[in-house]
Amino acid sequence: MAARAIGIVIEGATGRLGTTQHLRSLIAIRSEGGLALANGDRVVPMPVLLGRNPERLAALAEAQGGLRWSTDRDTILADPDIAI
């Protein structure tokens, strides 16, 4: 069984939907070991926080175990490790 990490950007991560729904769901899936595929492999979400306020992003990222974060949309979206 192989695990495949998949980068997922959460834009507006410090907003209500970003923190209470999207991020919380991705963290839960990740903590359970990812999503099982039919062949037995697993897809593990790797959230990347994107927003305008670096202080809030850094605090949120740290509170979630040191997630990656950025205020630079162009750089994040150009990253080949991020699929969604």
Whether 34 contacts 44, CB under 8 Å: yes
pTM of the model: 0.88
Domain ranges (residues) in the chain: 3-78
* Residue 80, token pair as written in the block: 């080949």
Give domain 3-78's CATH architecture: 3-Layer(aba) Sandwich (3.40)
Q: What is the DSSP string of 39-78?
A: TS-EEEEEEEEE-S-HHHHHHHHHHTTS-EEES-HHHHHH
Whether 77 contacts 48, CB under 8 Å: no
Arithmetic mean of pLDDT over the chain: 93
The predicted-structure confidence for 16-52, as pLDDT tens digits, reads as follows 777 778 999 999 999 999 999 999 999 999 999 999 9
